[in-house]
Chain A
Amino acid sequence: MNTVHTLGPGLSVAQRSMRQAHTRAARRRLLVYLGLTPFVIIAVFPVFWMAITSFKTDADLVNPTVFPFWFHQPPTLEHFTYLFQHTYYGDWIFNTLTIAMLVSIITLLTAVPAGYALARVALPGAEKLGIGIFCAYLIPPILLFIPLSRIVALTHLIDTKWALVVVYPTFTIPFCTWLLSGFFKTIPAEIEEAAQVDGCGRFAAFVRTVVPVSWAGMLTAVIFAFTLSMQDFLYSLAFVSVSDQKPIPLGVATDLMRGDVYFWGSLMAGALLVGVPVAILYSFFLDQFISGITSAAIK
């Protein structure tokens, strides 16, 4: 090997092999980066395309003769100002956050005790109940939304974002219950036993000892609840028609596709403004998230 020849005669064998290992590691790293490149491009390209589109003037956008990935007229903020001045985008952001937050809370309030009960309390029929809860997740919204609308109507929440706060837990609870029950199994039993020996009731023991050490699991559940709430389209379409009550995905898809005109610039601007912050948020919690699913699935 060439590298060997260039090495000075003063180097020991150990040094030499270290150097070799080093180059090998560097080469390997390079290969990994090379391998990752297409993935990054595939993942980011549509987002890059969104970004370009959202800063382009309309005339620039539909000019088929020029290189589409750069600006041929100065970039513009008009699509963003349109979003905030002529649509309810500000409200949509607020609604989406409110909905996601409240859905997460409802999910935690129901799924944490349920997950704990399934994992830690020996209950006759618990397994079947657990499976029942989880199977509810398999029922497609297209089958449920008509009957569900009558139930939602009973609450007089139709056409408000609160309707979605009520409905979305139907798909977050099953998954998070399962997730959390796996998580609770990883917590050493001695913790609660000690608390109970100290005279705490079961529930108090649970709240004082188990909850505080379950943040990772709960965080994972919240991330899931958040993501799932943002993926819905059909329920929000069926239950919310009032513009200032819509969550972002519905608002963007219904108020920015006006009949036979798509407001591509504003559409993409609207998508970008929600996508990027969420992605950043994710990168903070990704490690927690991974360990959350790991423990849930393995145990």
Chain B
Amino acid sequence: MAHAEMVTGPLVHARPGAFTRRRLWFGYGMLAPAILYMTVLVGVPFLWSLYLSLSDATVGNSVAPFVGLQNFAAVLSDSTVRQALRNTIVFTVIAGIFKAVLGGLLAFLLMQDIGAKKILRSLLVIPWTLPVAISALAWKWMFDPQFSAINYVATRLHLMSGWPNWLGEPGLAMASVITVNVWRGFPFAAIVLLAGMSAVPLEILDSAKVDGAGFFLRFHYIVVPMIAPILFVGLLFDTVFTLTDISIVFLLTQGGPMNTTEILPTRALEIGIEAGALGRGAAIALLLFPILLPVVYFLLRFLGRREAA
């Protein structure tokens, strides 16, 4: 705990002794509402789901005997679950790359000194502000095999030949699902990066320029370390959303065709709720954690560094 004392707020050294107890009361008191809320409404249900994943529970019988790791063995031997695991990773990583690239480019453009920036920005942020369930439906309408607006435009502009069936072909279906996620996420990525870039004081950049630092050098030694934390936050926020969101796939493809867009949350819904095997459903949802683990790891390191700084 000595470590915690060292990173403390500024008042500690000034008021030792009895005051510390009051300070602790005060501090924990301030934390209590949030901790209590999260414990009751997330902690308890989470432990409960852990129990479910280790038991033979069904929707009709949620207090069931322990079966150990049987559910995990069962879901891992299910080729569709393994496929869903792969899809989840592919989905998250590819969508993440696109969002980062598009968001970065957009942030760079928005940094420039141009007019009408406010209007442009408010137009660009629209995808992120719409409820995802609703925009998924709008996209479903645009991917419609008969009335696809995308196909209409693309074929007229000769960007595409034929009339692709976006949600019906294995590769295209995944591309479509990713597209919707990227469309929704790139404005946020841009905002976060914009925030990061504007956090780099211009003087530093300028002095580096005077010192003759090239673009890449400047980018690598100044921009990256300064915007990395904020980038990381954005990435984390977005990754969690992408990994846990169910509505895009649920509303666009239901995991089809041939499970090529099946992701862990939709598979968990299918098995746990629709087929009623709660225990296995919970086990499938828990498979998300190995994927989240690197995220958590970096989070801890990041938070640790922040505290130490």
**Which A residues are within 8 Å of any B CB, using their own CB?**
25, 28-29, 32-33, 35-36, 39-40, 42-44, 46-47, 49-50, 53, 61-62, 64, 68-69, 106, 109-111, 113-114, 116-127, 129-144, 146-148, 151, 166-167, 169-170, 173-175, 177, 189, 192-193, 196, 202-203, 206, 227, 230-231, 233-234, 248-250, 252-253, 257, 262, 264, 267-268, 270-271, 274-275, 278-280, 282-283, 286, 289-291, 293-294, 296-299
Contact across chains for A127 and B121 when beta carbons are under 8 A apart = no
Question: Which residue from B37, B38, B129, B147 sits with its C-beta under 8 Å from A278?
Answer: B129
Total A-B contacts with CB atoms under 8 angstroms apart: 319
Measured CB to CB, the closest approach of chain B to A257, in angstroms, equals 8
Residues from chain B with Cβ under 8 Å of A233 in the complex: 132-133, 246-247, 250
- B292: Cβ under 8 A from any A Cβ: yes
Q: How many residues of B contact A (CB 8 A)?
A: 116
* A interface secondary structure, majority: helix
In the complex, chain B residues 15-40 whose Cβ is within 8 Å of any chain A Cβ: 22-24, 26-31, 33-35, 37-38, 40
Q: List chain B positions with a Cβ less than 8 A from chain A.
A: 1, 4-5, 7-12, 22-24, 26-31, 33-35, 37-38, 40-46, 48-49, 52, 62, 102, 105-106, 109-110, 112-115, 118-135, 137-139, 141-142, 146-147, 149, 152, 183, 186-187, 191-192, 194-196, 198-199, 226, 229-230, 232-234, 237, 240-241, 243-247, 250-251, 265, 268-269, 272-273, 278, 281-282, 285-286, 288, 292, 295-296, 299-300, 303-304, 306-307
Q: Are B105 and A35 in contact (CB under 8 A)?
A: yes
Q: Judging by beta carbons under 8 Å apart, are B230 and A294 in contact?
A: yes
Residues of A within 8 A of B191 (CB): 286, 289-290, 293
List the B side residues contacting A296 at CB < 8 Å: 233
Chain A nearest CB, measured from B81 CB (Å): 14
What are the residues of chain A within 8 A of B4 when measuring CB–CB?
Answer: 122-127
For the complex, give the distance between the alpha carbons of A175 and B188 in Å.
15
Chain B residues contacting A196 (CB-CB under 8 Å) are 11
Bound Cα distance from A25 to B113, whole angstroms: 9
CB A206 to nearest CB in B, in angstroms, measures 8
A99 to chain B, nearest CB (A): 12
Q: Which B-chain residue is minimally distant from A46 (CB atoms)?
A: B138
In order of increasing CB-CB distance, the 9 nearest A-B pairs are A122-B8, A283-B122, A121-B27, A147-B45, A140-B244, A114-B34, A113-B30, A147-B48, A117-B30
